Amino acid sequence: MTSRSQALAIGTATAVAAALVVLAGPASSQGPDPDRRTALRASAEQLQRLRPAVPRRDLVASGSACARDAAGDPLPAPHGPADIDELCVAHGDVLRVTLRAAQPTDPAADPAWAEGVTGALLVLDVDGDDTADLELFHDADGAAVRDPAGAPAPGCPALAAWDGTALHIEVAGTCLADVDRVAVIAFQGHDADADGVPAGDFAPDTGALVVTRAAPPPAAAPPPPTPHPPP
């Protein structure tokens, strides 16, 4: 029997993998690719093939949500700095993504970020067709948003921040102004020995974290009428 969830799982895995295959450059065999983001993406595509096939189960929420991720599940082997512990997404005036690792490292202090293929990649489906539309990066060079062709996405400036425990990416509201529902799959790669071959973890472990736009706050109630003083 083919259930809907199984069909979606197959379709999603195929769509995302296919998009990554199309954009991935040749795998580097002599240290990090000059374009770290292209190399990170290629690594994600390679490691995605190693992910176990499981029925799809999206986590759907309004406004904001966090997805806890399994411990010790980076591929091809457990590696704390690549091990996603939690992915959070908030979709409102801006899009905010937080990625917390089991053993987080400072992008400005850990040499694996500057010298290796280390970074976070967030794949976004913004039109509900289970195909990647935008790719957010947070690496040693900061934050960036690319379109499926690998070019900077127009109207999508992004900010990267590190607070000592987690990575944060904020994408300007102009980027997703017409998007009411965004599905996010995260990848964290960490290239400890800077040989161009990171360990990496995906989150959520099944499906995507799907967040619908937060409803705008209700309009402020008009002030009560001021009673006129008696004549």
Residues near Ca ion (CB under 5 A) = 69, 73, 83-84, 201-203, 205
Shortest Å, Cβ 71 to Ca ion: 6
Q: What's the closest the beta carbon of residue 44 comes to Ca ion, in angstroms?
A: 12
Nearest to Ca ion of 19, 75 (CB atom)? 75
The nearest distance, CB 68 to Ca ion, in angstroms, is 9
Rank residues 137 and 202 by Cβ distance to Ca ion and give the closer one.
Answer: 202
- For 183, phi then psi, to 5°, come to -105, 130
As measured in angstroms, the least distance from the Cβ of 47 to Ca ion is 11
* Nearer to Ca ion among residue 192 and residue 203 (C-beta): 203
Strands, sheet with 84-91, edge to edge from the N-terminal-most edge strand? 64-68, 84-91, 95-101, 167-171, 158-162
Number of Cα atoms under 13 Å in the Cβ half of residue 104 = 18
In angstroms, the Cα distances linking 226 to 94, 110, 223 are 38, 62, 8
Query: Least distance to Ca ion from the beta carbon of 52, Å?
Result: 10
Tokens read off for 98: 């937080």
- Choice between 112 and 179, CB closer to Ca ion: 112
CB of 161 to Ca ion, least distance (A): 21
- Report the first-to-last Cα separation within the chain, whole angstroms: 82
d(CA 183, CA 208): 6
Residue of minimal Cβ distance to Ca ion: 69
DSSP state of 124: E
- Burial, 5: exposed, middle or buried (Cβ in 10 Å; 0-12, 13-18, 19+)? middle
Q: Give the residue with the Cβ less far from Ca ion, 33 or 73.
A: 73
Q: Which two tokens stand for residue 54?
A: 């499981």
CB-wise, 83 or 139, nearer to Ca ion? 83
